[in-house]
Amino acid sequence: MTSDTVTIGSRGSALALWQAHWVQAELKREFPALRTTIEIIKTTGDRILDSPLSMIGDRGLFTREIEEALLEHRIDLAVHSLKDLPTELPDGLCLGATCVREDVRDVFIPHSGNPRRLLLEQLPGARIATGSLRRRSQLLHLRPDFEIIDIRGNLNTRMSKLEESAWAGMILARAGVVRLGWEKAIGESIPADVLLPAVGQGALGIEIRKGDKETLALVSPLGHIPTTQATVAERALLRRLGGGCQVPIGTFARMEKGSPFQLHLDAVVGSLDGRRLVRGKIHGDPAGAEAIGGKLAETLLAGGADRILRDIRAGSGAHEPA
């Protein structure tokens, strides 16, 4: 970068560009003289749309090509949905800031012809679309009668697919739906204690090169300490479990009032058919967020999550795309 220009790397979807423009606006607010440009970079996950995410790889599906551009100095920073960013970053890169988090919950979006707005009030055998193994596992645990449909694509594509289908509805992250102005389509915001979200869901991560003090100084004011502490715990848990899009792991960390404030972390690991779920929770000093995540991961592993994860990785927990 030059002293007054920064290049932001982003995927090209409407949501990714919303996020990049949000960061661009925040940088402009903090540094009015700064000039910024956005470079759109297509990732593996953007190119392969005819296969479930769990079947096309596990790490960096939506980040790898952007990270390569960052390492090659073609961009100065990268804006990611934090849930897409692997817990282990490439050598030479780091998280420069984690921005304030949007609502972490998932939402149920019913078909326009479906009068039942609430997820668990759907008829027996209802067809529910989602691209997430995490949601699949928890949904089938709650409602084994549901038929889960695998769905890919950006928000507009998914909305079109829903309307053209005979599905009861689909499940998406609330943050993206709200950011793109689709709130009226929401039938229900699903409580996090019913459907635990993905690691980092609702948060934006700004990735930079290690040692790039100039860019770090620019993005640091965009960081949000409570979100950073919460997502550090979640990512530490995922790192210890060795999870990714091929493993159904849900977790949610948040600050709760106390004397002093405490970081509370809930998590679940489930089999792909939803028959086996291992849950756990922990709380502690936010300053020890990483240790909290690691400790809860160990508790889950000791409680049976190790067997679930072994079975999934061995292929016995795999499912055929619906």
Q: pLDDT per residue over 87-118, tens digit each?
A: 999 999 999 999 999 999 999 999 999 999 99
The answer as to whether 251 is a domain residue is yes
Distance, in Å, from the CA atom of 211 to the CA atom of 93, rounded to the nearest integer, reads 9
Count Cβ atoms below 10 Å from residue 136 Cβ, excluding itself: 26
94 and 113 within one domain? no
Spacing of C-alpha 30 from chain mean position: 27
The answer as to whether 130 is a domain residue is yes
84 and 24 within one domain? yes
- Beta bridge partners of residue 148, listed in sequence order: 128
Alpha helices in the chain (DSSP H): 14-30, 44-47, 64-71, 133-142, 155-163, 174-179, 213-219, 225-241, 289-300, 306-314
H/E stretch holding 5: strand 5-10
Of 46, 84, 106, 266, which one is the catalytic site residue?
84
Instruction: Give the pLDDT band of residue 316 (cuts 50, 70, 90).
Output: very low
pTM, to two decimals? 0.91
**131 lies in which domain range?**
106-190
The answer as to whether 196 is a domain residue is no
Distance, in Å, from the CA atom of 159 to the CA atom of 33, rounded to the nearest integer, reads 39
The answer as to whether 18 is a domain residue is yes
20 pLDDT above the threshold of 70? yes
Whether residue 306 lies in the annotated active site: no
Q: What is the CATH number of the domain that holds 111?
A: 3.40.190.10
Asked whether 285 and 257 are in contact (CB, 8 A), the reply is no
234 pLDDT above the threshold of 50? yes
The answer as to whether 132 is a domain residue is yes
The answer as to whether 122 is a domain residue is yes
pLDDT in tens, 115-145: 999 999 999 999 999 999 999 999 999 999 9
238 and 93 within one domain? no
41 pLDDT above the threshold of 90? yes
